[in-house]
Amino acid sequence: MEATKPHIALLASPGMGHLIPVLELAKRLVSHQSFKVTVFVVATDHASIVSSQLLQSPASPDGDDLLEIVLLPLIDVSDIIGPGVSFIQQIEATMLRSVPFFRTEISKMESRPTALVVDWFGTDVLEVADEFNMLKFIFITSNAWFFAFALYTPEIDRKEIDEHAKNQKPLKIPGCRPLNFEDTTEFLLMDPNDPTYQRHIGVIIKMSLTDGILVNTWDELEPTSLKALRDARKVPIYPIGPLIRPIEKSVLRSEIIDWLDKQPEESVIYVSFGSGGTLSAQEVIELAWGLELSQQRFLWVVRPPTEKDAAGAFLTLTNGCDCNPDYLPDGFLARTHDRGLVVPMWAPQVEVLSHPSIGGFLTHCGWNSTIESITNGVPMIAWPLYAEQKMNACLLTEDIGASIRATPMESNGMVTRGDIRSMVRKILVDHEGRNIRARIKELKNSAAKALAEGGSSYNVLFQFAEICIQHLS
Ligand code: UDX
């Protein structure tokens, strides 16, 4: 390593949706800038991280030792897990408790990092960057529109939020598409005196006081929101995406890929709800019927259904037996076995989406899934579940033109089997879907261009590097 090169520390908070893009950012900094990068991984469950093999990716493309991964000690939050404690609150508590471990690791390092990059949940750790004179950056693993909204929230007049909450008035976001009430986030509707609300606002204010924000998007995908963020001049913005995992062809051919190999080109709808998304029992039944009625080929990653209990926690509703899922309609597997594959819990998603037989993706609109679909030119059916996913679905459907949206019926909040049938047909075969199918190919090209030498995201990384280099001198 050249002595003058910066050393960047990255911190990944728990959850695949955070770890995957943080690791990709690390690899990008190594391959693009030959920076030394250390990724600190915070986890609540080491076993699943180890079994995912994500941490075993090659140290760096040229075999150098520029990329180091440090798994921080397991952080125990069992004392706060209980009714009413959300997954997000567990992550927040975990991150707060990781601060001393992170400080110890940094103080032991011979080559002290120049900059610290944390994701949304890592702002508590920024105090360590201050102590060691490191630059501070936030990596937004979602899109620019969502971030523009978040950055604006501390300034919104309460009256506007009340109008939004009570009268469903769209919320203006300066320079950006307004936020429709049906896409709003739970956070915005909270009581402003609630400590969780106040903590969120504190996190957002901290973000605006950093040296910059890296966003997993690219200029050509979100020109309006990125312009608005730059015009606001609150904090420098670096759109460096799309950062997605490369395809890692398994040494052992999987059953899924073997099955996909046998299907015609662009004939299969891939159905998956991200790293942890689940549906209710009735939604699973409607989805199964919708897939069956569509008469199209499908690959479905199924999870046992859940319902929320009175305290808002998710309860699993079945014996969870993967080999014979009792939550699917009677006879479904037998009736569809010649054109459908149902796999439990997890699929190698990037490999699946890059397979020529995939023609559509029914997705929960997690941002990683979204950009994996775009970069593979796969049109989407947007079925958002939680967090910022409704905003993502709106962006994809109304702004970008890359998806159609599953709309629940007002009477029972359900997406019906008839809707699912027609959406699947529209995205895969019907004439009506042709514009979306054409649009997604353009977006695929724009993503590749942004990352290639001379592209927008490629160039932005030089700007980020320059700031780090200046800090060294
Ligand atoms: C959540 C948010 O909703 C998302 O928008 C946010 O940016 C991060 O946290 P998550 O539910 O984890 O995300 O979904 P997503 O962002 O799509 O990430 C899931 C990752 O797991 C993707 O990289 C996907 O390829 C991978 N995955 C998921 C698989 O490889 N196989 C699966 O079966 C499911």
User: What does the alpha-carbon distance between residue 221 and residue 250 come to, in Å, rounded to a whole number?
Assistant: 31
Q: How many residues does the chain have?
A: 473
Q: Is 299 exposed, middle or buried (0-12, 13-18, 19+ CB in 10 A)?
A: buried
Q: Residue 250 has what pLDDT?
A: 62
Other Cβ atoms within 10 Å of 5 Cβ, number: 18
254-301 residue pLDDT tens: 899 999 999 999 999 999 999 889 999 999 999 999 999 999 999 999
Q: Is 276 exposed, middle or buried (0-12, 13-18, 19+ CB in 10 A)?
A: middle
Rounded CA Rg of the chain? 22
C-beta 372 within 6 A of ligand 1: yes
Report the share of the chain in percent with pLDDT over 70. Answer: 93
Atom 4 (ligand 1): residue with closest C-alpha?
A: 366
**17 CA closest ligand 1 atom index:** 12
Other Cβ atoms within 10 Å of 64 Cβ, number: 12
Q: Residue 1 has what pLDDT?
A: 47
**392 CA closest ligand 1 atom index:** 5
C-beta 387 within 6 A of ligand 1: yes
**ipTM given for this complex:** 0.97
| Phi (first) and psi of residue 140, to 5 degrees | -85, 115
Ligand 1, pocket-test mutation among 369, 383, 389, 403, most atoms within 8 A of CB: 369
What SS3 state is found at 232?
helix
N-terminal to C-terminal alpha carbon distance within the chain: 17
Q: Which residues pair with 213 in a beta bridge?
A: 138, 237
* Top-confidence residue, 154 or 306: 154
Atom 33 (ligand 1): residue with closest C-alpha?
A: 346
54-110 residue pLDDT tens: 777 555 555 568 999 999 999 888 888 777 788 888 899 999 999 999 999 999 998
What is the secondary structure of 357-370 as a DSSP string?
TEEEEEE---HHHH
Q: Is there a contact between 364 and 263 (Cβ–Cβ < 8 Å)?
A: no
Nearest to 403 by CA among 384, 380, 431: 380
Q: Is there a contact between 151 and 207 (Cβ–Cβ < 8 Å)?
A: yes
Distance (angstroms) between ligand 1 centre and the Cα of 367 equals 7
Q: Residue 317 has what pLDDT?
A: 46
Atom 3 (ligand 1): residue with closest C-alpha?
A: 366
Residue 463 makes CB contacts below 8 A (sequence gap 6+) with 238
C-beta 17 within 6 A of ligand 1: yes
Clarify whether 18 is annotated catalytic: yes
Residue corresponding to tokens 């950062």 = 243
203-248 residue pLDDT tens: 999 999 999 999 999 999 999 999 999 999 999 999 999 999 888 7
What is the secondary structure of 162-177 as a DSSP string?
HHHHHH-PPBP-TTS-
Distance (angstroms) between ligand 1 centre and the Cα of 70 equals 22
Given 7, 18, 200, 364, the catalytic residue: 18
* Top-confidence residue, 446 or 79: 446
C-beta 406 within 6 A of ligand 1: no
Instruction: Quote the DSSP letter at residue 382.
Output: E
Decide if pLDDT at 413 tops 60.
yes
CA 350 to chain centre: 13
C-beta 142 within 6 A of ligand 1: yes
Distance (angstroms) between ligand 1 centre and the Cα of 46 equals 18
Atom 30 (ligand 1): residue with closest C-alpha?
A: 349
Helix (H) or strand (E) holding 21: helix 16-33
Cis omega (within 30 of 0) for bond into 242: yes
Distance (angstroms) between ligand 1 centre and the Cα of 340 equals 23
What does the angle CA 247 – CA 252 – CA 254 come to, to the nearest 5 degrees? 75
126-185 residue pLDDT tens: 999 999 999 999 999 999 999 999 999 999 999 999 999 999 999 999 999 999 999 999
Number of H helices, E strands in the chain: 17, 15
Ligand 1, pocket-test mutation among 140, 254, 275, most atoms within 8 A of CB: 275
Q: Residue 312 has what pLDDT?
A: 47
C-beta 24 within 6 A of ligand 1: no
365-389 residue pLDDT tens: 999 999 999 999 999 999 999 999 9
Clarify whether 119 is annotated catalytic: yes
Residue corresponding to tokens 């409607």 = 286
User: What does the alpha-carbon distance between residue 30 and residue 64 come to, in Å, rounded to a whole number?
Assistant: 10
Helices within 320-379 (DSSP H only): 332-336, 349-353, 367-375
Q: Is there a contact between 433 and 427 (Cβ–Cβ < 8 Å)?
A: yes
Nearest to 367 by CA among 9, 6, 17: 17
Q: Residue 173 has what pLDDT?
A: 97
Residue 28 makes CB contacts below 8 A (sequence gap 6+) with 240, 243, 461
CA pseudo-torsion sign 139, 140, 142, 145? negative
Distance (angstroms) between ligand 1 centre and the Cα of 331 equals 30
Report the share of the chain in percent with pLDDT over 90. Answer: 78
Q: How confident is the model at residue 249 (pLDDT cuts 50, 70, 90)?
A: low
**141 CA closest ligand 1 atom index:** 7
Over the chain, what is the mean pLDDT? 91
Decide if pLDDT at 321 tops 50.
no
Cis omega (within 30 of 0) for bond into 83: no
Stretch 461-465: mean pLDDT:
96
| Phi (first) and psi of residue 30, to 5 degrees | -70, -50
Other Cβ atoms within 10 Å of 153 Cβ, number: 18
Distance (angstroms) between ligand 1 centre and the Cα of 162 equals 32
Q: Is 356 exposed, middle or buried (0-12, 13-18, 19+ CB in 10 A)?
A: middle
Q: Residue 320 has what pLDDT?
A: 43
User: What does the alpha-carbon distance between residue 266 and residue 427 come to, in Å, rounded to a whole number?
Assistant: 10
Given 119, 183, 211, 219, the catalytic residue: 119
Q: Which two tokens stand for residue 248?
A: 């890692």
